[in-house]
Amino acid sequence: MKRAKRGRTVPTYDQIMIAARELFSRYGFRDTTVRMIAQKAKVNGASINYYFTSKEALYEAIFEQEFQKSARPLEDLIGTVHDAASWKAALEKWFDFMLELFLLDTPGRALFRRLVAQERSSPTEYCERIYRDVFLPVVGVFRALLRMAMPDETPERFQAVFVMFLGTCTCFMHRDPPWDDIEVCRTVDRETWVRMLRDEIVATLMARHAYVTNRIPPGA
């Protein structure tokens, strides 16, 4: 195991995950090799096969870990809604999550954002599974929250509104230089920028769509 700060140790499993996340986010799945991961993690290739069986399994494990750590709690938001105020609070928490994911530059979030961007721009053969198991549950929460304001809307108009507001978050996925000059405000700190964006998005949504019910129609 690798020695960490203050005498703590980093288990081999975590070493591999940290190294793989960085390399996959920088070079993509196809151009990252097991040998590169082993060298970055300072382990041998057999350790990667022992813990993950394959590069493919390691790649999927990274997305699953991030989902369990950060996104799984979002699924509880739907159950917190019982009136207009709690609906607004749930919307704010959902947009907080999405905007923090794509805009905050803490090491873990920045790397995961680049991983998501890599998968969106150059999908791997695992894209469908990752989409189903990781991304779909997250956007499904917003879809359910939006349906609470549009329970009887036509599928076409609902989809138009859904995509419009989802896009206000996902546009920040590809914000590496020089695009960050357009998408990031430099006169406030990043946390303040996230809160400002969130408030604008939620206020715009609520100005056009008011809370109606917490009973989500079938197929929402």
pLDDT in tens, 138-177: 899 999 999 999 999 999 999 999 999 999 998 887 777 7
Ordered by where they begin, the domains of the chain are: 1-53 (1.10.10.60), 60-208 (1.10.357.10)
Spatial distance between the Cα atoms of 13 and 65, rounded to a whole number of angstroms: 12
Condensed to tens digits (0 to 9), the pLDDT of residues 77-97 reads 999 999 999 999 999 999 998
3-class DSSP string for the chain: CEECHHHCEECHHHHHHHHHHHHHHHHHHHHCCHHHHHHHHCCCHHHHHHHHCCHHHHHHHHHHHHHHHHHHHHHHCHHHCCCHHHHHHHHHHHHHHHHHHHHCCCHHHHHHHHHHHHHHHCCCCCHHHHHHHHHHHHHHHHHHHHHCCCCCCCHHHHHHHHHHHHHHHHCCCCCCCCCHHHHCCCCCCHHHHHHHHHHHHHHHHHHHCCCCCCCCCCCC
State the pLDDT confidence band at 128, using cuts at 50, 70 and 90.
confident
The torsion defined by the Cα of 105, 107, 111 and 117, in degrees rounded to 10, comes to -10
Residue 219, both tokens: 């197929």
Q: If phi over 0 gives left and psi between -120 and 50 gives alpha, with beta otherwise, what is residue 4?
A: beta
Beta bridge partners of 2: 10
Spatial distance between the Cα atoms of 111 and 119, rounded to a whole number of angstroms: 12
pTM: 0.76
Residue 179, both tokens: 């695009």
| Whole-number percent of the chain with pLDDT over 90 | 48
Q: What angle separates helix 136-147 from helix 84-103, to the nearest 10 degrees?
A: 150
Please tell me the predicted confidence (pLDDT) of residue 4.
35
- The candidate with the shortest Cα–Cα distance to 167, out of 183, 151, 144, is 183
Of 1 and 142, the structure prediction assigns the larger pLDDT to 142
